[in-house]
Structure 1
Amino acid sequence: MSGDRLIYLPLGGAGEVGMNAYVFGYGPKGAERLILVDLGVTFPDMDTTPGVDLIFPDVAWLEANRDRLEAVFITHAHEDHVGALGHLYHRLGAPTVYARAFTGHIARLKMEERGRDPARVKIVEPLPDMVEAGPFRVGFLPVSHSIPESASMVIDTPAGRVVHTADFKIDVTPVVGEAFDAAAWEEAAKPGVQALICDSTNVFVSRPGRSEASLASEIETLVAESTGMVVATTFASNVARLKTLAEAGSRAGRSICLMGRAMRQMIEAAVQTGVLTDFPRTVSPEEAASIPRDNLMLLVTGSQGERRAASAQLARGKYQGIELKEGDTFLFSSKTIPGNERGVLRVINQLSEIGVDVIDDSTDRYHVSGHANRPDLERMHDIVKPRMVIPMHGEHRMLREHAKLARSRGYAAAIAPNGTMLDLTGEAPKVAEHVETGRTYLDGTAQIGALDGIVRDRIRMALNGHALVTLIIDEDGDPLGEPWCEIMGLPETGRSGALVESLEEDLAQFVGRAGRKVLADDDKLEEGLRRTVRNTAFNEIGKKPEVTVVISRLG
C-alpha cells in the first residue's frame, strides 16, 4: 500500500555493548505492525549504578504500542540478548516468543524464574522454515558465535528482505555449534537484501578473526605443564571453550569440576538439547575436595570479576570446600569487557597474594572473540550485498566506524543509536523520528526508571554522607527541646571537635533565632535546618551531606 514504510528502532544495544532490543515495523506511519528481536540486559557497576542488580532497556514505547507487537524473536542465549525476557515480558502483551532449541531452553528458564508461562516460547527450526508474523516472514539463519545455536534473522517484508546478523563471527571450525556456511548465506542473499543490520563490536580489529579450534593446542600445553591445581574461567555460555578446557584437563589426567550455577546450567542445557554430546566426565565439588591437587582442574564462573561468582570467592578464600594455594595456576580464558577491568584486576591481585600464577587474556593465546573483526565484516558485506548497511551492537565509536567502512565500500549507511527510528523503505536509510528511551533498573525486586532519582540519590549519599535532623514542636508552636542530629557515612570529628555536637549547637542557634512565621511553616523550617547542617558540615569537614529533616508537631 502506498505510504507504508519499513522501520528499524533500537531500544538497546546501539551505542553500547549489551542490553540488545531491536524493533522492526512495517505499515502506515504510526500504525506499523511490529516485531522485536532480542530482549537483553546489561550489568551495573558500583560507580554509576550502586546497589542495582540488572539493567534493562526502557520498553515504555513498545509497551504503549504492544497491541501492534506481533512476536518476539531471540537470536541466541547470551544474557545481553535474552536476560530481560522474563522481567519485561508481562509489559509487552504476552506475544509469542520464537527461538531455536538451545536458546529456547534458556528462554523458558528465564520465563519460569519470573513466573511467566514458558509455553509462550516456541521452538523453531532454521531456514528454510519461516515464521509468519503479521506482514513479516522471519527465519533463523545459523551463524557461528561464542554460544551454541546462534542465529541471524532473515526478515522478509513487503519492502524487501532485511538481514539482522545479531552477534556473529566467521568461523568454520567452532568446536561446538554450526560452522559459518558461506553457501547458506549466499542463498539467503539471492533475492536481494534491502538492509543489513550488522554487528559492529570488533570493527577496529584489523586482523582476520581466529577460529575457536585454534586454541586447543595452546590450552593443552598450558594445562599439561602446570603443577598444582589448575583453575580456568571463561564466559559460562561459551560451551565450546568449556569443552576445549575440559578436554585439555582430561588429557592431562585431571578430574574436571564445574563450579558456578550458570556454568552447570549451560552445560546441562547443551546436553539436553543435543548440541553437546561428548563433554568429559565431571566430578562434584564434594568429590573434588578429596582429589589430589595435581589431578584436579576446576572450570569456574566469574571471568568478569563478579563478586559473588566462583572465581572471586576462591580468590577471597575457601569455596565449596576447595582452597587455592601457592603454585596453583589460574587461567582467564576470556576477554575483559570494557567497564569490568577493576573487578577482574581485584580478583587477579587477590589470587597473586595467595601465590597463584595468573594467566590473563593479554597474549591472545587462550581466547578468541565471538565477534567478527573488520575483514570479516567486509566479507559479510560482500556476501550479502545489501542496499544499505545499518551498524548495531557496539559503542557509538564502533557504529560510526562501521558506517564509514560501509560507505567506503559503496553502501548507503546510517547510524541509529538507541531511540533513533530509521525508515529503511527507500534507496538509503533516513531518520524518521526519535523515541524517548533509556534504561530500567532492577533494584532488588523492584523495577525503577533511570530518571526516577533513586540511584542518583544513592550516589549522592555515597559521595557526601547523610545527616538526619529531628525537631519536635509542641502544641503552642514552640520547640520542645533542641533539635538532635544523627550522621551516617561521615567522620565523627571535625575541626571543632565532635561533628554531631557542632551540628546540634548550630541547629539550636538557628531554631532559637527563628521567628514565629518560620516555626509555623514546615517548608521554611525544614529548609533552614537543612541549610544549617550543610553549611556547618562544610566548615567542619569540607563536605555537604544529604540531609533528612523530620519535624513532629504535637497536638
Structure 2
Amino acid sequence: MNLNVYRLDGSLLAVDCGIGFGGSEAPEAEIQVPDPAWLSERRDRLVGLVITHAHEDHLGAVASLWPLLRCPIYASPFASAVLRRKLGEAGLLHDADIHTIPLGGRFNLAPFDLQFMRVAHSVPEAQALAIRTRHGVVLHTGDWKLDPDPLIGPPTDEAAFQALGEEGVLAMVCDSTNALVDGHSGSEADVRRALTDLVGGLTGRVAVACFATNVARVESVCLAAKAAGRRVALFGRSLRNVDAAAREVGLLKDIPPFLDEEEAGFLPDDELLILCTGSQGEPRAALSRIAADTHPQISLGEGDTVIFSSRMIPGNERAILNVEEQLTRAGCRVITPDAEHPIHVSGHPAREELRRLYQLVRPKHAVPVHGEWRHLQEHAALAKDMGATPHIIEDGDMLRLAPGKVEVAESVQSGRLAVDGTRLLPMDGAVLDARRRMLTNGVVVGSLAVDESGRVRGTPKVSAPGLFEPGDEESEQVAGELARLINDLPAPLRREDDALREAARTALRKAIGRRVRKRPLVELHLLRV
C-alpha cells in the first residue's frame, strides 16, 4: 500500500493510493487499504492526488478512498484509463475529477510545481514526480528501473534526471524493493526472447500466468504464441480490463483481439495459449480455479504446460506452491523463472541502478521507501556511500525536509482498513476481531427459551461449527449442561433479560472451554415465553 502526503504552507499533496493483501498474516481481510483519517479530516487543504503508475499497490485504493478525500486526480493516460474503469465499477466515474497529464508533463497545484519524469517499470507509462517548492526540489521516484529495452515505451529518461540533479535536489524519496540485489534487474527484451524460445518447443495446451498490468509481458506472450502458431485466450477480469485500457491509449495495437473464454475450448490443444491471472495463487483468480478443476470453460491436464512469468511475492509462497502442486498432480508441467528459463525480470532497480540514479540526481537527503526494514537499511547505507544523508521513516512519521534541520517532526495517525464489500472496516475493530477469533477458536451459537421466572423451557440448542461435527453428542451434552446452569442461577437474575443473557453466555463459554480448551466467539439467543 502506498499513500504519501507532502505538506507546504498548509496545503497538502497526496501521491499514490494503493491496496495491500492480507495473505496468511491477516486472512480475515483479503484486501487492505491505508487508513486516510488524518488526511480526510484535512481534505479542504488537499490540492490533489497524483498517481505515479497503474499498479494496484499505487492506485488500487482510489475507488475505495476517494469518497473520503474528494479531490482532483492527476495521472498519465494509461493510469487514467485504468482508473476510469475502476471508478466506473464503483459508480464514481461521474463524480471523480480525473486530469490526464501527458508523459513528462509539467503542471501546477499551488503551492506545488509538479513535473512527471519518464521511468521504465513493469507497467506502461510509469512516472517519477519532481516536486518543486520554494524550499527546494523533492524527487519522488515511485517504482522504476533502468531497462535499456523496455519494449513498450522508451527507457528511463536519464537526461531529465541529470538535468534535475544539476538544478539541485533537496531530497529523493526512492524505491528500495531490490536494494539487496546486486547488479542490474534485467530487461524485458531478454524475457521476450526466452518466452519465444520456450513456447515454441511445447506441445499440448500452454497457459502463462503473469501480472495483468505488465503490458510488455502480455505483448511478449502474444508474440511468442504467434511464432508458435497459437492463438491467445484471456482468462481473468483484470487482464480484460487492462487489455481494454491499453488499447484505449494506443498500446497492443499490433496484437489481434483475444479469444473469449468460451472460444478457447474449441481450439486444438497445440493451437491454444491461455493467458491468465493468478500468478500469486489468488484463490478467486483464473489459474487457481483451473488448477482446482472448477473453471467452467477450460481444464488442464496430462501433456499441458503452465508457465509462471512472475516472481513469488513474499507472503504468497504457500498459495502459489499449492496451485503448482494441484497442476502437477493433474499431469501438467510447471515452469517457473530460473537460470534455465529467464522468463521474468523485476520492475525495480537493483543496486547498480540505484547507484546510477544517485550519480545523476545527487540529492542532499535520501528517504528510502518500499520494501521491508532490511531493504530500507541497505538502501540507506548505499545512499550514504553516494554522498546523501539517509533518513528512514515509518508509517505515520512526518519528516520535515525544510526549513531547518531534516528530522521527524511529529507522527500522525496511520493504519490499515479492510475492504469488506462496500464497507471499510478498521483492522483493530470488533468485526475483524470477531473473525480472527472465529478463525482460531471457532464460534458457538446457543439458543434457549425461558419462562417468566427464568426457568428453561424445552432443550436449548447449541451449534458449534468448527468445533463439533453436526449432530455430535457433545453439542447435546453442552446444551443439557447449559440448561442446568441457568436453572441454578439466583431467581432475581433470571428475571432480568440482559443479566440472564450475559450469564448464559458465560456459562456456555465455560462449558465449551472445559471440553475443547479453546475460547470461541460465543453468541446467545434468548427467548422469553
Tell me the residue number matched to 1:402.
379
CA distance in structure 2 between the aligned counterparts of 1:552 and 1:76, rounded to whole angstroms = 56
Count of aligned residue pairs for this structure pair: 527
Give the AA of the match of 1:145. Answer: H
The answer to whether residue 66 in structure 2 is matched with residue 84 in structure 1 is: no
Tell me the residue number matched to 1:511.
486
Change in Cα spacing, 1:256 to 1:551, as seen in structure 2 (3 Å) is: closer
Deviation at 1:147, TM superposition (A): 0.4
Q: Comparing 519-528 with 218-227, which one deviates more in the overlay?
A: 519-528
Identity %: 38
The Cα offsets for residues 67-98 of structure 1, whole Å up to 9 and x where unpaired, read as: 11001101111111111111111111x22111
CA distance in structure 2 between the aligned counterparts of 1:286 and 1:479, rounded to whole angstroms = 59
The 8 Å contact of residues 386 and 411 in structure 1, kept in 2 or not, is answered as yes
Tell me the residue number matched to 2:72.
96
Deviation at 1:341, TM superposition (A): 1.2
Q: Comparing 478-487 with 378-387, which one deviates more in the overlay?
A: 478-487
CA distance in structure 2 between the aligned counterparts of 1:35 and 1:258, rounded to whole angstroms = 38
Tell me the residue number matched to 2:523.
548
Q: Give runs of aligned pairs for residues 204-353 of structure 1, distance below 5 A.
A: 204-280=180-256, 282-317=258-293, 319=295, 321-353=297-329
The Cα offsets for residues 251-282 of structure 1, whole Å up to 9 and x where unpaired, read as: 11112222222112212221220233322553
Tell me the residue number matched to 2:3.
21
CA distance in structure 1 between the aligned counterparts of 2:432 and 2:223, rounded to whole angstroms = 45
Change in Cα spacing, 1:493 to 1:271, as seen in structure 2 (3 Å) is: closer
Q: Give runs of aligned pairs for residues 297-446 of structure 1, distance below 5 A.
A: 297-317=273-293, 319=295, 321-363=297-339, 365-426=342-403, 429-446=406-423
The answer to whether residue 120 in structure 2 is matched with residue 144 in structure 1 is: yes
Question: Residue 364 of structure 2 aligns to a residue in which SS?
Answer: strand
Change in Cα spacing, 1:426 to 1:406, as seen in structure 2 (3 Å) is: farther
Question: Residue 467 of structure 1 aligns to a residue in which SS?
Answer: strand
Deviation at 1:356, TM superposition (A): 0.4
Change in Cα spacing, 1:321 to 1:488, as seen in structure 2 (3 Å) is: closer
Instruction: Decide which of 81, 84, 90 is 1:114's aligned counterpart.
Output: 90
The 8 Å contact of residues 465 and 490 in structure 1, kept in 2 or not, is answered as yes
Tell me the residue number matched to 2:100.
123
CA distance in structure 1 between the aligned counterparts of 2:65 and 2:470, rounded to whole angstroms = 48
The 8 Å contact of residues 193 and 385 in structure 1, kept in 2 or not, is answered as yes
Which sections of structure 1, spanning at least 5 residues, go unmatched? 1-18
The 8 Å contact of residues 53 and 444 in structure 1, kept in 2 or not, is answered as no
The Cα offsets for residues 78-133 of structure 1, whole Å up to 9 and x where unpaired, read as: 111111111111111x2211111111111122222222245610111233x42111
Tell me the residue number matched to 2:23.
45
The 8 Å contact of residues 229 and 293 in structure 1, kept in 2 or not, is answered as yes
Tell me the residue number matched to 1:135.
111
Question: Residue 131 of structure 1 aligns to a residue in which SS?
Answer: strand
Change in Cα spacing, 1:116 to 1:493, as seen in structure 2 (3 Å) is: closer
Question: Residue 284 of structure 2 aligns to a residue in which SS?
Answer: coil
CA distance in structure 2 between the aligned counterparts of 1:537 and 1:320, rounded to whole angstroms = 42
CA distance in structure 1 between the aligned counterparts of 2:498 and 2:152, rounded to whole angstroms = 66
The Cα offsets for residues 203-253 of structure 1, whole Å up to 9 and x where unpaired, read as: 111122211111122211111111111111100000101111111111111
Q: Comparing 336-345 with 484-493, which one deviates more in the overlay?
A: 484-493
Deviation at 1:362, TM superposition (A): 4.1
Instruction: Decide which of 471, 474, 483 is 1:499's aligned counterpart.
Output: 474
Question: Residue 401 of structure 1 aligns to a residue in which SS?
Answer: helix
Give the AA of the match of 1:23. Answer: V
Instruction: Decide which of 439, 445, 463 is 1:462's aligned counterpart.
Output: 439
Change in Cα spacing, 1:487 to 1:288, as seen in structure 2 (3 Å) is: closer
The Cα offsets for residues 363-401 of structure 1, whole Å up to 9 and x where unpaired, read as: 461100000112211111111101100011222222222
Deviation at 1:65, TM superposition (A): 0.6
CA distance in structure 1 between the aligned counterparts of 2:235 and 2:102, rounded to whole angstroms = 32
CA distance in structure 2 between the aligned counterparts of 1:84 and 1:74, rounded to whole angstroms = 11
CA distance in structure 1 between the aligned counterparts of 2:82 and 2:310, rounded to whole angstroms = 22
The 8 Å contact of residues 103 and 125 in structure 2, kept in 1 or not, is answered as no
Give the AA of the match of 1:460. Answer: R
TM-score (norm: length of structure 1) = 0.90
Question: Residue 433 of structure 1 aligns to a residue in which SS?
Answer: strand
Deviation at 1:482, TM superposition (A): 5.5
The Cα offsets for residues 130-170 of structure 1, whole Å up to 9 and x where unpaired, read as: 21112101111110000000000011111111110000011
Tell me the residue number matched to 1:61.
38
Tell me the residue number matched to 1:5.
none
Deviation at 1:343, TM superposition (A): 1.4
CA distance in structure 2 between the aligned counterparts of 1:485 and 1:285, rounded to whole angstroms = 46
Change in Cα spacing, 1:550 to 1:100, as seen in structure 2 (3 Å) is: same
Deviation at 1:410, TM superposition (A): 2.6
Structure with larger RCO (C-alpha < 8 A, sep 6+) = 1
Deviation at 1:307, TM superposition (A): 1.6
CA distance in structure 1 between the aligned counterparts of 2:526 and 2:16, rounded to whole angstroms = 50
CA distance in structure 2 between the aligned counterparts of 1:490 and 1:285, rounded to whole angstroms = 41
Change in Cα spacing, 1:292 to 1:480, as seen in structure 2 (3 Å) is: closer
CA distance in structure 1 between the aligned counterparts of 2:139 and 2:3, rounded to whole angstroms = 15
CA distance in structure 2 between the aligned counterparts of 1:238 and 1:483, rounded to whole angstroms = 57
The 8 Å contact of residues 39 and 84 in structure 1, kept in 2 or not, is answered as yes
Give the AA of the match of 1:378. Answer: R
Give the AA of the match of 1:458. Answer: R
TM-score (norm: length of structure 2) = 0.95
Which sections of structure 2, spanning at least 5 residues, go unmatched? none
The 8 Å contact of residues 364 and 387 in structure 2, kept in 1 or not, is answered as no
Change in Cα spacing, 1:474 to 1:318, as seen in structure 2 (3 Å) is: closer
Tell me the residue number matched to 1:202.
178
Change in Cα spacing, 1:259 to 1:485, as seen in structure 2 (3 Å) is: closer
The 8 Å contact of residues 177 and 275 in structure 1, kept in 2 or not, is answered as no
